[in-house]
Amino acid sequence: MLQRYRLLLIVVAIVLPLDQLTKIYIDSTMALHQSRTVIEHFFNICYVLNTGAAFGMLANSPFRVPLLAGVALIALTVILWLFKRLDDDQQLQRLGLALVFSGAIGNLIDRLRLGAVIDFIDVHWYQSHWPAFNVADSAITIGVALLLIDLWREEKRRKNK
């Protein structure tokens, strides 16, 4: 049984500490809203708290923490269910789900601990900024991208048959 979840456990063991340690480091070394330039006109490290969901949605809702925590718990449950149903040869899907799972846990911890998520990666082109994000958000994004790539590849395989 544990063998089936090996990849999930490995990814969680890497992503979750990396996410939490970077957030702890940012929180302990920077003031809220402080920014440090890494690459001029392209990349900063900044300290912001995202009280909402993706791109700050629901930021002002009084129900945001229980709602977003509930959604995260449902998503984590669904991911575990999907993970259990995957065949052993579906490694790209396993990796994608493991990354999404790890990222969701990382942001859920922040939400329950702080009522907000610490974001600190600021990618921009001069004055045009992408919303700040963190390691957990990156893991979720990469995981979803891997799942989409696998779906696309599977669709191509089906068409070729």
At 58, give phi and psi (nearest 5°): 70, 15
Tell me whether residue 87 is one of the annotated catalytic residues: no
Residues 105, 12: contact at Cβ < 8 Å? Answer: yes
Distance in angstroms (rounded) separating the CA atoms of residues 127 and 149: 32
Please identify which residue in the block is written with the tokens 């970077």: 22
Known active-site residue 137: yes
**How many whole angstroms separate alpha carbon 69 and alpha carbon 40?**
36
With the CA atoms of 111, 116, 120 and 122 taken in that order, what torsion angle do they form, in degrees rounded to the nearest 10?
120
Catalytic residue among 19, 110, 119, 122: 119
Backbone phi, psi, residue 25, to 5°: -60, -45
Q: Which residues are part of the catalytic machinery? A: 119, 137
